[in-house]
Amino acid sequence: LATHWDLLEQPGFFQERVGKNTIIEPGAIVSDKSLIGDNCHIQAGAVVTGLSCISDGTILTADARVANSVIWSMGQDRYTVSGPVVCSIVGADQCVEVDLLSSRLHEHIYRTDGARLRA
């Protein structure tokens, strides 16, 4: 996480912070320090704060709250996120939680095929 945060804080390191064909609905909140991949959908009411990194094709539902986290899909896996994700790394069907506030994260992350991630 610290490496991602360091890179996201570098001025000019990323020319674009929101990827191609990404939809951010009115009413969604996205930090200008976050990085959002291509073909994402961030629904109204979703909140992305701090130094967060969201992978291509990720869907954040209206009740998603992502703070200082990395959600990164590999290959064909794509994630739908609802609920809180705080100081965590999600990827390769695994979740590493750094903060006790996110202890129930695994209940809120799904691959697009509907399979739940295991804690």
Name the average pLDDT for the chain: 81
| Exposed / middle / buried, residue 115 (Cβ in 10 Å: 0-12, 13-18, 19+) | exposed
**15-41 pLDDT, tens digit each:** 789 999 999 999 999 998 999 999 999
Tokens of residue 87, six digits: 């100081």
Q: Are 17 and 24 in contact (CB under 8 A)?
A: no
Task: Give the integer Cα–Cα distance in Å for 88 and 25.
Answer: 24
Which pLDDT value is given to residue 7? 84
